[in-house]
Structure 1
Amino acid sequence: METQRMPTLFIGHGSPMNALEINSHTSAWRAMGESLPTPRAILAVSAHWYMDGTAVTAMEQSRTIHDFYGFPPELFAQNYPAPGSPDVAQRVQQVLQPLPVLADQQWGLDHGTWSVLLHLYPQAQIPVVQLSIDAREPPAFHYALGQRLAALRDEGVLILGSGNVVHNLRRIDWSTRGGGPSWATEFNDYIRSALMRNDHQAAIDYEVAGDAARLSVPTPEHYLPLLYVLGAAGAGSQVSFPTDGIELGSISMLTALCS
């Protein structure tokens, strides 16, 4: 049976509380899960697995990691018992050769992954593996890895990036539900415009956006998952934005679906 080619998807995951909340963003994620073709497996690149080196989770069953603090007990009680997939992990290793990719047995699913999958695929029936982000490498490296992962799309694997285009916790304002300072909206609009015109190089070279980029991406881990998604999508992809907006003053909820 022929496998349908999967899109690639970047989700701005925002606060961990989105795992529990039904709002405009999480409703958009749920609608996507209902409308997208059902993947054979999901390869997730989350901002929260940021380390020296590249690794892929290779266990039969992943644990749910509660990698945050200061949130209500209901959030810590959440579990996302999706199976893993050693076969998909091995395939990731193959397509990324000769890059050494560790078959990890310790990590699991961090909240960058499970907080959005709770809405996309609440049944937790689809196998999920996570790929780490090598903190030592520049943006072009991560885009190139995405290009090599593109082969998985034809094998029924949904490549999911989870982070935030704008993510500055030092500038966060918990009292602000919508909107943000000019630098946040400027950078978010800059990246959205680049994606609309398929200018992936502008997304790779995001630092040329100056102060808006410096304030929006003070550290790169939440931005880099987007580059995996774009690399796997290819420069000729069609992009749509199921949800967008600045929340809490300094967090972009931009979601980009590439097909």
Structure 2
Amino acid sequence: MLPAFFIAHGTPNLAIEQHAYTEFLHKLAKSIPRPKAVVVFSVYWESPVQTVSSAIRPEMIYDVSGASDKVYSIKYPAKGDLTLSLHIQQLLQEEGIRCELDDERGLDHGVWAPLSLMYPDAQMPVVALSVNPRLTSEEHYRIGAALGSLREEDVLILGSGGTVHNLQRLDRNNPVPQLWAVEFDEWLAEQLETWNLEALVRYDERAPHAATAVPTPQHFAPLLLALGAADGARRAKLLHHSFQMGTLSLCCWMFGGLKKPERFLD
């Protein structure tokens, strides 16, 4: 059974950057069995109803304002998988979660940026899922849990977002992480490693510096979605953690685990 992952997608330039985190993402894909398909919850696709991409050949969406010109030349020609999209819709509906298909939606940079580093050959089908930041934390977890059985079918589930993600507090001239950002991620790590759902779904009330670290729930929601996908196992392991520009958290969490987690290297 494959684990589920939460992956910070960093800046729009992630796909062309070279640093410890991008090197980690290159290694990560080689450290797990090759999946049959990849399902990605992306914060850059907001929808009031849970929506699943069903395009056979999804187009690239260059939603990367302010990115390097090189980013606009990136191509990630992954195919969709209509059978998998329909299966996801069925799983969600069986849990009473309203779900729609979208046969026009392409792949935004929350999807193609990390995947271009993990699986640059783009040979596996990719299905994107929307995120509704207006849902409660419990509802996000429930959506992820509804899709947990996909892991048994060798489908890789990724939540693409960010934990500490406050663009107003970035310090481009300071590589040293700020204390408040570190303290929030340390609190989060403690709750995830103990699978403390009571605290996690109330992170906005209980976590130190929560309002500064997570000014809006949009980027945090994919973590709860990926977490829910491993509800049956309830194991969490931090595989990588670093910061950019003082406050932008670049972390990767594995949920569900493998029999040999020592295969992972930062």
TM-score tier by shorter-chain length is over 0.9
Q: Could you tell me which residue of structure 2 aligns to residue 230 of structure 1?
A: 227
Alignment of 1:113-192 (within 5 A): 113-180=111-178, 182-192=179-189
Deviation at 1:108, TM superposition (A): 1.3
Deviation at 1:172, TM superposition (A): 1.2
| Aligned with 1:29 (options 15, 25, 39) | 25
Unpaired stretches in structure 1, ≥5 consecutive residues: none
Deviation at 1:209, TM superposition (A): 2.7
User: Partners in 2 of 1:193 and 1:211 — Cα distance?
Assistant: 12
User: Partners in 2 of 1:235 and 1:96 — Cα distance?
Assistant: 16
CA RMSD between the two structures: 1.4
Please give the per-residue CA displacement for 1:140-198, whole angstroms capped at 9, x wherever unaligned. 10001111110111111111001011100111122233412x22111111111111112
| Aligned with 2:81 (options 65, 85, 100) | 85
Deviation at 1:135, TM superposition (A): 3.1
Deviation at 1:107, TM superposition (A): 1.9
Deviation at 1:210, TM superposition (A): 5.3
Report the AA paired with residue 148 of structure 1: A
Report the AA paired with residue 239 of structure 1: A
Deviation at 1:235, TM superposition (A): 6.2
Identity %: 34
What secondary structure is seen at the aligned counterpart in 2 of 1:227?
A: helix
Report the AA paired with residue 225 of structure 1: P
Deviation at 1:23, TM superposition (A): 1.0
Report the AA paired with residue 193 of structure 2: M
User: Partners in 2 of 1:211 and 1:229 — Cα distance?
Assistant: 22
| Aligned with 1:45 (options 41, 48, 54) | 41
Q: Could you tell me which residue of structure 2 aligns to residue 17 of structure 1?
A: 13
User: Partners in 2 of 1:211 and 1:35 — Cα distance?
Assistant: 33
Deviation at 1:30, TM superposition (A): 0.8
| Aligned with 2:60 (options 58, 64, 75) | 64
TM-score (norm 1): 0.94
Mapped contact 2:52–2:85 kept (Cα < 8 A): yes
User: Partners in 2 of 1:212 and 1:206 — Cα distance?
Assistant: 10
User: Partners in 1 of 2:197 and 2:85 — Cα distance?
Assistant: 27
Deviation at 1:115, TM superposition (A): 0.6
| Aligned with 1:76 (options 72, 79, 85) | 72
Report the AA paired with residue 245 of structure 1: S
Q: Could you tell me which residue of structure 1 aligns to residue 98 of structure 2?
A: 100
1:7 and 2:3 aligned? yes
Deviation at 1:211, TM superposition (A): 5.5
Q: Could you tell me which residue of structure 2 aligns to residue 199 of structure 1?
A: 196
User: Partners in 2 of 1:141 and 1:239 — Cα distance?
Assistant: 20
Mapped contact 1:198–1:236 kept (Cα < 8 A): no
How many residue pairs get matched? 254
What secondary structure is seen at the aligned counterpart in 2 of 1:112?
A: helix
User: Partners in 2 of 1:156 and 1:27 — Cα distance?
Assistant: 24
User: Partners in 2 of 1:52 and 1:173 — Cα distance?
Assistant: 33
What secondary structure is seen at the aligned counterpart in 2 of 1:26?
A: helix
TM-score (norm 2): 0.91
